Structure 1
Amino acid sequence: MKKQAICMTLSCLFVAGAHAQNSVTLYGVIDEGFDYTNNVNGKKDYELQSGYAQGSRWGLKGAEDLGGGVKAIFTLENGFNVNNGRLGQGGLEFGRQAFVGLSDATYGTVTLGRQYDSVVDFLAQTTANGNWAGYLFAHPYDNDNTDNSFRVNNTVKYTSPTWAGFQFGGMYGFSNVAGGFANNRLMSVGAQYTYGGLLIAAAYLNSDNPSGTANGAIPTTDQNFLAQRLRIFGAGINYTMGNATVGFAYTNTNLSDPTSTTYISGSIVPVGGSISSLKFNNFEINGKYQFTPAFFVGAQYVYTRATDNASTGTSHPNYQSVGLMADYLLSKRTDFYAQAAFQSVGGDKTGTALDQAYVPGAADASSTSKQVVVRLAIRHKF
């Protein structure tokens, strides 16, 4: 009965859209592959994993022409795990995106709901992980959210039209806490400029008490770090010359009073101590070459310098990450890809789990300062 009801509802949506000369589109991505990690808590790890180059998803998006160049728009996007069929993003039905709004070709677009922040919208596209590579190529612990670790609830978002290659946007995420206006709220702004093969982008994000409440801007189901405050800013540039694209991105992440990260099981707080701030400066160089319309190879190098201000002293661990990817299209919608990611941790020791290597996407941190992950996968888009 439930299946029949869902089918009837979807059918009604499409029929209603056709009668009103509007559009409703069903779309999705299925990304599934085999991962090998050389060291997870001292052991080799072999596993099937879903959604690395792109998160596995399905969604509905639509538009209704209201006249005068104005459209009502919506997107409902669900994330899921191919291996077991479970919902992604902490079990949310439409955890990737869920918004409705108005779009005008002259004045821009205003949307309300659960959405991507300005770092994801503008800056992430200049990084390898936020553009063509995905999860394994994220900066350490995805500290800058360029790999979209979290979405933002309760948002009002504006995106401008593109004027002579320039576009900007911003969002505000409400805390939705009575008497606690600033308790888990978020603000972000971003901009980009394109001219021929040139892309320049920048973004800024500030979140107070991220993941500290269940229904705030960054809820407990969305987290990279739990902290009193999160600030991210950065800029990047990409340039395409024929079949080759090269890029550089810089991001700075500042966490006040961090207590944990969702990525690893080990503590980031020294035994018997505390951390007043944790900062990451990420420098990335990436490149991609399209050998044929069906085949490309890409590479990335990231140097991350961290500053750990703890009660036991200040330390500066550093992280060097290297990623390689090859992708071959079997058709316009189906491709095979291979990826390898390596991370090495050096510099000062913090006496915490931050001293162990962790490639984003691995099952857990390495027992040493080095870790390698290799992935072979198939991806299908519909």
Structure 2
Amino acid sequence: MTRPSPQKAALAAACAATFACLSAPTQAQSAVTLYGEIDAGLAYANNVGGHAQYQLTSGLIDGSFWGLQGSEDLGGGMKALFRLERGFAPANGEERNDHPYYVGLESESFGTLTLGRQYDSVHDYFAPFTLTGGTGGTAFAHPFDNDNANNTYLAANAVKYESPKFGGFTFGGMYAFSNGAGRFADNRAYSLGANYAGGAFSAGVAWLHNNGRGANGTGAYEPFALPGSGDAAGSVIDTFVGKQDTIGVGANYIIGDVTLGAAWSRAIQTGVVDADSGAGLPSVGFSNYELNAVWQVTQAVSLAGMYVYTKASAAHWHEGAVQAVYQVSKRTDVYAETVYQRASAGAPAVINAFDPASGRNQLVVATGIRHRF
């Protein structure tokens, strides 16, 4: 085999060194991460059509999903970023469109601007002070998840801004377009929120407004089953909502290994119309009052509990829940929880993620395993 001349060898070495110098910073400035979570378990619910219900669950704390996220350093304290997530049900493999995907820019001085399908300000600034938006998860949602603290729906066509931190204070907002020609306000949404964290105390407030929810297929939200709508047999009705407003306020205080929390929210839907017949339906409003606590017993064991009182114009619900989590490793934990709900005025008990009760009481007992990757 012919050996290269010393001149050619030196030239090749110089080119290789130059390429390495040019490529190394580029690789260091960009990053892409594959991540996700799988949550599955077993659950018992009583009083479903007069019978007990046993099921394999697909995420009683967090919905199972996989995702990709990445960023590129653009210099000057600026970077580009993206996030793509897809939900799924490990029990049956069903895909779930309940996670965000967006692209945007982040500045150390000016904050973050993103475009895509995204969480609203209720998720960002209010939900963390509820147990459903914190360690409790799906089954701990307020009845019907009426205030969206458990992220039942995300906003499509959304532009979102989040400020940098000013001391312990941050704020942000979102606007989701209707994307309908000549129908700018039909099925649009916007929200605002703010958060403060300093020492042992933290608090947040958020507001979400939507016009014409479900009025077209191109806007912020799809038609949805209005909480409490339906006939005597318990079926639900897909609806359009003329106007929807949700406001929430919450706070936490840490005492040693215990975090105490309180949250209040009010959700109102007016101008409600049956999506199939066009018939008008009654407006619906809910007020939720929650007290919760999380105790980090040891580094591996935590206990959480809550009580929620929900008041609507014609009914109310009492809900209590407790949860124990044991962290087997950094990425894997096992949990057990129980939720009890009691309704009044002929309304059914409806624990989130389970079929409605055939009466005013419902009890859920569940256990599961969760792994993050």
Quote the Cα distance in structure 1 between the aligned partners of 2:80 and 2:30.
10
Partner of 1:326: 324
Partner of 1:244: 258
1:113-192 matches, within 5 Å, as: 113-192=116-195
Letter in 2 for 1:379: R
Partner of 1:358: 350
Q: Answer yes or no: is the 8 Å Cα contact 1:118–1:171 preserved in 2.
A: yes
Letter in 2 for 1:255: Q
- Aligned match for 1:76, one of 75, 84, 97: 84
Quote the Cα distance in structure 1 between the aligned partners of 2:159 and 2:94.
29
Could you tell me which runs of 5 or more consecutive residues in structure 1 were left unpaired when the two chains were aligned. 1-14, 90-94, 262-272, 308-315, 350-354
How has the CA–CA distance of structure 1 residues 200 and 45 changed in structure 2, closer, same or farther, with 3 Å as cutoff? same
Deviation at 1:39? 1.4
Q: Answer yes or no: is the 8 Å Cα contact 2:129–2:263 preserved in 1.
A: yes
- Mapped pair 1:22 → 2:27: no
Deviation at 1:16? 11
Q: Note the alpha carbon deviations across 1:270-328, whole angstroms, 9 max, x for none.
A: xxx95431110000000010110100110000001101xxxxxxxx3110000110000
Deviation at 1:242? 1.4
How has the CA–CA distance of structure 1 residues 359 and 193 changed in structure 2, closer, same or farther, with 3 Å as cutoff? same
Partner of 1:42: 50
Deviation at 1:215? 2.2
- Mapped pair 1:290 → 2:290: no
* TM-score, normalization by structure 1: 0.85
Q: Note the alpha carbon deviations across 1:106-160, whole angstroms, 9 max, x for none.
A: 1000000000000001100000000111111100000000000000000110000
Partner of 1:267: none
SS across alignment from 2:178: coil
Cα RMSD over matched residues?
Answer: 2.0
Partner of 2:207: 204
SS across alignment from 1:365: coil
Quote the Cα distance in structure 1 between the aligned partners of 2:273 and 2:252.
35
Q: Note the alpha carbon deviations across 1:10-30, whole angstroms, 9 max, x for none.
A: xxxxx9997363110111010
Quote the Cα distance in structure 1 between the aligned partners of 2:225 and 2:189.
13
Identity among equivalent pairs (%):
42
Quote the Cα distance in structure 2 between the aligned partners of 1:332 and 1:376.
19
Quote the Cα distance in structure 2 between the aligned partners of 1:44 and 1:178.
49
* TM-score, normalization by structure 2: 0.87
Q: Answer yes or no: is the 8 Å Cα contact 1:250–1:284 preserved in 2.
A: yes
Partner of 2:3: none
Partner of 1:264: none
Quote the Cα distance in structure 2 between the aligned partners of 1:48 and 1:148.
22
Quote the Cα distance in structure 2 between the aligned partners of 1:381 and 1:180.
42
Q: Answer yes or no: is the 8 Å Cα contact 1:27–1:58 preserved in 2.
A: yes
Deviation at 1:241? 1.4
- Mapped pair 1:343 → 2:341: yes
Larger radius of gyration: 2
- Mapped pair 1:279 → 2:282: no
Q: Answer yes or no: is the 8 Å Cα contact 1:149–1:223 preserved in 2.
A: no
Quote the Cα distance in structure 2 between the aligned partners of 1:165 and 1:105.
15
Letter in 1 for 2:190: M
Partner of 1:255: 269
Aligned length: 337
Q: Answer yes or no: is the 8 Å Cα contact 2:274–2:281 preserved in 1.
A: no
Partner of 1:374: 365
How has the CA–CA distance of structure 1 residues 109 and 326 changed in structure 2, closer, same or farther, with 3 Å as cutoff? same
Quote the Cα distance in structure 2 between the aligned partners of 1:189 and 1:260.
29
Quote the Cα distance in structure 2 between the aligned partners of 1:16 and 1:46.
55
Q: Answer yes or no: is the 8 Å Cα contact 1:17–1:23 preserved in 2.
A: no
SS across alignment from 2:125: helix
Q: Answer yes or no: is the 8 Å Cα contact 1:169–1:190 preserved in 2.
A: yes
